[in-house]
Structures are given as structure tokens and as C-alpha cells.
Structure 1
Amino acid sequence: MSRRPRIKLEKPIAHYHVMTRTAQQEFYLGDDYVPGFKQVMLDIFQDVASVFYVDILAWVIMDNHYHLCLEVQKPPKDAEDLRRRFERLQEINVGKRRWQPNLADACYKRFTDLSEFMKSVNYRTAIAFNGARGTKGHLWGARYKSKIVEDENGLLKVMCYIEHNPVTAGLCRTSSAYPWCSAGYLKRGLARGEAIDFPAIDFLKNQPRKRRARNYIELVDELALRLQGLPSDPEIGIKSYALPISDAELEAWRKEFASKAPEDWSHQAFGSEAFQREIALQEQTKMQKVTKVRREAVKRRRCESDDQGAKNKHM
């Protein structure tokens, strides 16, 4: 059976929700296997993102899978920027290749590709895991799953869904209490007095730059409580601004989160029905092209085999 074609948008900026599970869904990412491996994974996420034209908007690392919400960019080609990214890649790889101008096109194609980013992340994490344990074999199971996010409203919803994973698993009451998600990571950074430039998405566009990260944490924590049917926590400080979601929207979110709609991997789009149909049509069209190419290749090989058989017969 043909492998399902991956749909990626050819746009200056596209957003994706991706997820990868461990082989056999074992709890390989927990401390029982490799103590501190989640930090190793986070370092790899950040290293690879520094090479690719990818921003990680939200993430969570559980014991047997991880989620990322990614912004994949296709900016105008800049040879100097590509050179810096190539040299950063050599630094990470401890490589010795030198930059050549004729590498620009290949580097741009690779550094703006979602699949190449995920391939690099999963390869490096697998190498690190096996190296720490002195083992060989697969860390990850099937291919990574991905969904294209239609707009910023859907983007915020996906980010909150990702942050909500440890709450759903019963590991914590609020997202920021879990250390291995972006909300918890941001909260620790703010506690250390770090300046965090959080992306200006959705309602955060109207917030002061220095308040965006804090307001995002407050949002996901307040949502975590409300989605559990728990009262607001005065310590969260949500009253510093109006919660940008109505009660009706919150109820819709609750239903979507309960049904795991943001990670319904049966289709590759998250958004309106029209958007889902559009992406499904792209997938169908791409699958038809792939099938046609494969059939032609099989037909060509059969003809070549028949020709060779005829030649052998007359020899």
C-alpha cells in the first residue's frame, strides 16, 4: 500500500501541529530509561530550530510521545543567512564541511522543509538515546503525524491543547506546573528574570511585548482549570487582562479537547470544514500523481524485462 503523502503548504509562513510516538509506545522518554533525557530532547529541539527556518511556538514532552506546534517560514533567499545556518549545522554536527555558494539552493530547500526538520529532530534524539544507553535500535515508532493549522484562532487552540497534555494525563493541575512543556519552561524563565520574546499571535498582538509570555501562561493555566470544571485560582493572576474566550467558545474547546480533535490524524488539516476539504483534495491529487508515477515505473520495468527475455530467447 502506498504511503500517505505529506501535505505541506508553499506559503511564506505555515503552521503545523506535529506529534511523534515512541516505538511500541514504551515510556522511553521517562527517567527510568535515561535520566534527564527530556532536557536532552529540548536541547535538540532548540539546536535544530536554530538551523532551520522554524520557530517552535509550543511543545510538550511526555514519557512516550511529544507534540510540537511549529511555524515554518519560507523567507526570501539570503545567501549570507544560509551560510550562517550551514555553519551552525556544522557546529552541531561537529562537521568539517565548508560553505560553498553552490550549496545555497540545496540548503534553502532543506532548511525550509518540515519533513527535513522532523527527520533531523528524530534522528538526533534517537542517536542521543541509544548513545546514553549503549544500545541500538528504534526509539520512534511510525512516521511523525502532522496537521496544517488554518489560522491564528486554530493556532492558539492547538497550542493550548498541547500544553493541556500533562493536565489530561493527571500529572498536574495547571499546565505551567509541568516542567516539560513550553508553559512550564516559560514560567521558569520568567522566574529567573529572563527577557522572553513571545510571538504576537491572536489576542497577544494587543499585549505589551514584555507581557506576552506571562499572559500566555495565565491563559493556558486558566483554561486548564476551566476545562476541568475547577474554579479560577487567584494566584494565576488572570484578572490582569480579560480572558479572550467566551463561555460558548470555552464549551466548544472542551468538546474538541475531549474528542482529541486537534490530533485527529485521519486528516491533515485543523480548521474549518472548507479548509479540511481543501487539504483533503490536495492529498487526493498528490496521491493520484504518486500512484500514476509508480504504475508507469512498474509498466516500464515489465517492458524492459520482456525485451530482455526476448533477446535471451533469440541468443
Structure 2
Amino acid sequence: MPCPRRTQISIEDTPYYHCCSRVVRRAYLCGHDSYSGRNYDHRRAWVESRLIKLASIFAIDVAAFAVMSNHLHVVLRIDVDMVNNWSDQKVVEQWHKLFKGDELTHKFTKGALIEEFEISTLKHRIATYRSRLCDISWFMRCLNEPIARRANQEDQCTGRFWEGRFKSQALLDDAALLACMAYVDLNPIRAKLAKTLEDSEHTSIQLRIRSALKGEQPKPLLPFIENEFNHQPKGVSFSLKEYLRLVDTTGRMLQEGKPGAIDETSANLLTKLNISHDNWLKLTSDFGKIFHGPVGSLEELTCYCGHLEKKRRHFLTCCQYLHAS
């Protein structure tokens, strides 16, 4: 039986979460569907565009994403400090970018007089909106539902487009985050949809490479903060150059006929995070198969289970595999 989302999210332990949604029956409803003979590749652009829009509205950053032919991967960072620092006016304005709101919230944004008996109701709604704007479930709902409606309208049909609930897993430390981001960014390479990272359409890695060539970082994505392009206080605590080099080398190793080796710079990054070279290729190939729950060190996993009042530390063996030497 699926667990309630609140039993999987622990902001005390990590703001990073890997989410995955699959289309019904794992059909290629966002790619070339051999059963119907139709090509739905254009829907991948719908998903990417919607994802980028939501990142500008929610207090949730996108660290990595890959829109595939029959599923979607995204690594998200919940920014509680950001949403708590938003004014009430800002919260309502952000919410109105997605939903119509009501007469009371529109009166508030226009600066109209709020009657005394309405104040309590208004405060409750603002608190609700503030909570939802940093909620992964609301983020994924606002991503998946419009895509499903648009696809059904295009196909002139009704019913499910996505396969049940999206899956989410907590990334409890830097090693888990690095391995998961690389796994997501390498999806098109593994699926043989692209031969190079630069050709990997509708992925975060393509956006990062294009921006890096200009000496920049893509604005829609959470930046890397250990590099010369960054001027922001928050972000992924790795070097962008090291990450791009590591993912590029790994991608070459994953392709048939292109053997490669982890260079010294990339090897130093893995060593710093206590990830063995032997395990790295396995992690970036089968992350989704190896890990079905929270990912991190034994210590981090213990804290995570304690904060969520879980009696057993599930998936312990898998997490030890991540940090094996």
C-alpha cells in the first residue's frame, strides 16, 4: 500500500527529492508510439515548458530533469526559507499565476478594504497558499494535471494519462544528490535517444551545457555554487566544470564501443564523496532499480527515520552500497 507523502518528506533532513512520473501502461505517449504509429515527441516540450514555469512560481528549485518518451524524472529542492520570507502579497500573487483565487484574495492584491470579519478567512487562505507553494505534491500536481488534460484533448479521449501517483525519494546527502542528478541527466544516453549530452533534448544537462558555453548558468535551474559562473548564495555544492566532465565521461562509458575512464578531476570528486569508482557506473545506470526509498549514509538514514517516526530503517542495504569503498 502506498505511504502518505507526509511520511516521506522530512525537511529537517534534506530539501532534495527525486520524483518520477510514468505514463499509463508505460506507453510512449510522449514519444514515438509503435502501437498507434503516431509520434508525440512534441509533448516533451510541453512538459519542459511547464516545469520551467512552475520553478518560477513555487518556492521549489529544479536541480535536474529529463523528459523521456514514457516517463519524467526531476530532482527538486524545497526552499522553505524563501517561501517564509515572501510577504502575504507575494504569496497571493504567486498563487494567482496558477489558480483564479476568489473575490477576497483579489480584493487583497488590489489593495481594497478588507472587512474585519474577513481577516481571519484571508489569513487562513494565505497560510494555506504559502504551505502549498513549497509542497512537492502540489508542484507535481500542477505539472502533471495540465499535461494530462492537454494530451487527452489532443487525442480526443478521456481517462488517465499518468500512471497513478508520482514516486518520490529523499536524497539525504551530497553523494546521493550527485549520483541521482547524474542518473537523471544520463537518461537519454542510456535509452539511446541521444549520442551526446549536447543532443539530449528536454534535459537539464543540455541547458547547463549551452549556458556554460556562454560563461553562464541557466536561470530556470538551481545553480552550482562552487564555480566561477555563480553569484548566488544557494545551489548545488559541487563544481559545475567537474560535474559536467564527470557526467560526460560516464556517458561515454555507458555507450557501446566507447570505453572510457574516470579522469583525475572527476575521480577526486567521487573520492571526496566516498563513492567508489567501481560502483559509480552501476549507480548511474541503475539508480532507479537499486534505490526504492530514501538514499544516503547510515547516519543520515537513521536521522531521517527517527524524524518521521519510522520503526525500521528500510532500504539500509541499498544505501550502504552507495557509500561502499
TM-score, shorter chain, exceeding 0.5: yes
Q: CA deviation at 1:112?
A: 1.1
| Count of aligned residue pairs for this structure pair | 276
Partner Cα separation in structure 2 for residue 250 and residue 177 of structure 1: 26
Residue 225 of structure 1 pairs with residue 233 of structure 2: no
The amino acid of 1:41's aligned partner reads V
Matches of 1:68 and 1:166, distance apart in 2: 14
For residue 98 of structure 1, the aligned residue among 87, 98, 106 is 106
1:266 aligns with 2:311: no
Q: How far apart in 2 are the matches of 1:21 and 1:263?
A: 15
Aligned to 2:226: 205
**Structure 1 residues 56 and 36: alpha-carbon distance in aligned structure 2, compared to 1, 3 A threshold:** same
Question: 2:133 & 2:43 partners in 1: Cα distance?
Answer: 26
Per-residue deviation, 1:243? 6.2
Task: Judge conservation of contact 2:22–2:72 (CA < 8 Å) in 1.
Answer: yes
- Provide the C-alpha distance between the structure 2 equivalents of 1:152 and 1:123, rounded to a whole number of angstroms: 31
SS in 1 for 2:269: coil
The gaps in structure 2 that reach 5 residues or longer are 33-37, 109-121, 232-237, 313-325
1:245 maps to which residue? 270
Provide the rounded CA distance (Å) in 1 between the counterparts of 2:57 and 2:160: 25
Structure 1: give runs of 5+ residues left out of the alignment: 288-315
Taking a change above 3 Å as real, the CA distance of residues 41 and 68 of structure 1, as seen in their structure-2 partners, is same
For the Cα contact (< 8 Å) 1:14–1:73, is it kept in 2?
A: yes
Matched, 1:276 2:311: no
Corresponding residue for residue 181 of structure 1:
203
Aligned to 1:81: 90
- Cα deviation code 1:198-217 (max 9, x no counterpart): 6454xx51444289656643
Seq. identity, %: 21
For 1:285 and 1:81, how far apart are their aligned partners in 2? 36
Give the Cα separation in 1 of the matches to 2:13 and 2:303: 19
Contact 1:13 1:74 in 2 (8 A): no
Q: Report SS of the residue matched to 1:85.
A: helix
Q: Which residue of 2 aligns with 1:51?
A: 57
CA RMSD across the alignment: 3.6
**Structure 1 partner of 2:281:** 254
Specify the code of the residue in structure 1 equivalent to 2:130: Y
Name the SS for the 2:202 alignment partner: coil
Shifted more, 27-36 versus 190-199: the winner is 190-199
Structure 2 CA distance for partners of 1:264 and 1:116, relative to 1, 3 Å? farther
Larger helix percent = 1
3-state SS, counterpart of residue 56 of structure 2? helix
Question: Partners in 1 of 2:309 and 2:12 — Cα distance?
Answer: 20
Deviates more, 1:128-137 or 1:67-76: 128-137
Q: Distance in 2 between matches of 1:136 and 1:199?
A: 36
Superposed displacement of residue 185, structure 1: 2.8
Q: Given the two structures, how large is their TM-score scaled by the length of structure 1?
A: 0.73
2:18 corresponds to 1:3:
no
Give distance in 1, aligned partners of 2:40 and 2:287. 32
Displacement of 1:225 in angstroms is 1.9
User: In 1, are the aligned partners of 2:243 and 2:266 still within 8 Å (CA)?
Assistant: no
4+ residue stretches of structure 1 with deviation over 6 A?
93-97, 238-243
* Alpha carbons of structure 1 residues 150 and 207: separation in structure 2 relative to 1, 3 Å: farther
The answer for the alignment partner of 1:14 in structure 2 is 15
Q: In structure 1, which of residues 62, 65, 70 is the aligned counterpart of residue 68 of structure 2?
A: 62
Deviation of 1:195 (Å): 5.6
- State the distance in 1 between where 2:41 and 2:74 align: 22
Q: Which of the pair has more CA radius of gyration?
A: 1
Q: 5 Å matches for 1:70-219?
A: 70-75=76-81, 76-78=84-86, 79-90=88-99, 98=106, 100=108, 101-102=122-123, 103-189=125-211, 196-197=218-219, 199-201=222-224, 204-209=225-230, 216-219=243-246
**CA separation of 1:274 and 1:199: change in aligned 2, threshold 3 A:** same
- Local SS of the residue matching 2:19: strand
CA spacing shift, 1:10–1:226, aligned 2, 3 Å:
same
